[in-house]
Structure 1
Amino acid sequence: MPTAENHPDRDTVQPPEQDETPLSVLLDDVLSAMRQAVSPQIGIRAAMEVLRAGTDARMALLYRDSTHRPSLPDMGQWRLVHSCGRSSTDPFPDDDIVGETPMGSDTAPARHAFSHRGMDCLWVSERMHLFGRVGLLLHGLGPAGRLGQRSGDIVALALRILTAILERDEMHRHVLDRLPYDPVTQFLNAHGFQDEVTRRLGRLDWQDLSATLLVIRCAELNDVLHGLSQTEALAAMEHAAALLRRSARPTDVFGRIAHDHFAIWLDGCDRFAASERAERITTHQLPLLLARPRLLGLRIGLAEREPNSTTSVDELIARAEAALLDAEATGRKWMFDRSPA
């Protein structure tokens, strides 16, 4: 009597075929390279190198186009954003290529295989929703890249993934550029700081109050953060910002105007009060609680503004930064600028 396992009416389920061709492995390697990177830009560079090596191409070049009119012979409208391989030079002189690359539809990337200077090449482009197009050129394909239609499909799919990541990164940067504050320290950024200080000048003039700007630099900060992981560097910056805030009054304005430059605007603070504040900040320095605790030195440049002064915020920042350079050159912890207030 037949059992359930060998019943004649029972269909035998065949396991799916394992298609571990070099091309499928290549796509897995591209995805792994992007996932392991700490930032989208680094991930795209790593994926480009994996794609170039997997197709045995001489060069891989990534282009951006913001005109929505991609044309292969006229590379002037394409901007080279990354290249890897034996040479970083653009292999497309205008008089070497004849004919245009088709744009393709909105759902399928443009693709064009051709020969240039005796080498096989593949050009693939993909439309971005808001930021033009992205073009990928594999120049000088080796045997691993000359696998016909399926090779082009894998490269086109990899470019679609790169384009999606690049577009998301562009959107994040677009939002961050319009923020008035630094997301890491929660201090105002350079534009936000200038806007807030400018808004206060009218009230200071009406109340006949002076004010002082402090520009603080931690010269060792870049070196310390460079040796940390992304999570550790973020925690260190948040800790540094919290320490600087401890010396603040409710009316003070804090800003991060450069990577290692911070600014504090002190309403109603004359030279004497500002000198005491600068001395206290530089004496305490900046202790960071890392795996190996560090005590980072600080230098401060100060610029005072008298009531009804015509000096702009940009000029005050420039004067404070000049005083900071003088303090660093003379070995002093802090220094006022020598310009008239």
Structure 2
Amino acid sequence: MNTMPSSSVPDSNPPESGGELMDALLASRKRWKSLTQLVADLIFETDAEGEFTFFEAGSALGWPDHELIGENSNRLLPFVDAAPGPSPFRTHTVIRGRRCWIKRADGSFACLLIYATPLQSPTGQHAGVRGLGIDVSDEANTNADLSVARLHSEIIRRITTTMRSRALSRLGIPPAFEELAALLGAAGGILISETPEGETEFSEEDEGDLVHRIEGEITPFEAEIEARLREPNDGTAFEPRFMQIDGHDVIICRSRVRYNAPASMALWRAGLGVWSQDDASLADAALATFASALELGALNRALARNARFDPLTGMLNRNGMITEITRRLPRLDRERLSGTLLVIGLDRFSDINARFGFEAGDSALQQVATYLRDAIRPTDLAGRLGGDIFGLWLDGADHFVAAERAETFCQQGAAIFLSEPVTLTFSVGLAARNWETGEGVESLIDRASLAMRSVKLAGGARWHTSLEESSP
């Protein structure tokens, strides 16, 4: 305890003088308290040891006013050893508006703007600190939210840039997924996008199922996660989920993908409770970005399919026939096999439109398409070359096999049903290809079409072989 120095001048009335001084000090503290309460959420005083001699925080921190009297002020600091700058409760210099995180009674933290001044004894020694604090937690949290938002925006920008660096955005998803996992500090991850049922046609650059793993080796732990990702979804569970599997904290996200099956993604860290809701939101936003690329790929496939198929009959169109036959020719040449193209024209099809109307004409074309598809093997090709002209590619068949098929078509025709039964007859032109000639598809189509037109001019309902046979 500090004592006043002795004086050689006698004090005529020490009791009264001491009482007046104490009353003055108490009055001064009350005035200081009244003024600071108008603007402050925390008022405090500490002694030379950093223990509270006065503490009042109202509802800001949740501490009862007298509970901390005599307690060490470090109790309110979250990181005493690593705290930037001196403790505001032990400072030897004036503090003006320094942000400090102070522990609340419930264990959470509040951000306070601290103003403090050191106290000195009559002898000039450090005697403690008097100060006040203003709660700015809402502002600090808002700034933190903005920082998180900026971080998320930067991560999304980086993975989007990675995806756009590839010729096909779908091919950019695996490296972008790995970058996302690295930025989030994930120990591993799996991304799955499955092909819709019935869709099997993909280019070499755009394969069906996309299954990407951060680590190549499949462990039982990863196999379990993949099985969970492949579980059927009822269409509603698209919110990120936290799961604990084999000592790992796992985030699982799903995203709808238009024109495609939903995409699923899992990321994990070693340990439990290590992911935050912000991490889950970022992972979900990244998966939505991947889903956009998957949607674009699915849309491109749909456009490519429409470019190769006739929308009325569902058969290959002329370009589709040329593409598919061209793709098969090298294999036929290697195996020294022939192939034959039949170009089939409907006889007097204009009479159908004139008699029954154009809608009936469309129905007639659809029924003929079904008849021709059913008349060939699964390995053969059927297409609509334009108007009422169809094409059949008999894979590996020579001239004689194709002639038998053409004879059947011409003898039987096709029975269709409009407002009344109608039988359509065919004019068929044949063009056989010998593997030694290397003849192209366009040449085959021209030869078979010429033979078909010659049959039409002769009255139809017959078949004819191209006069310019493909020869060695």
When the two structures are superposed, what TM-score results if normalisation uses the length of structure 2?
0.34
Between the two structures, name the one with larger relative contact order (CA 8 Å, sep ≥ 6). 1
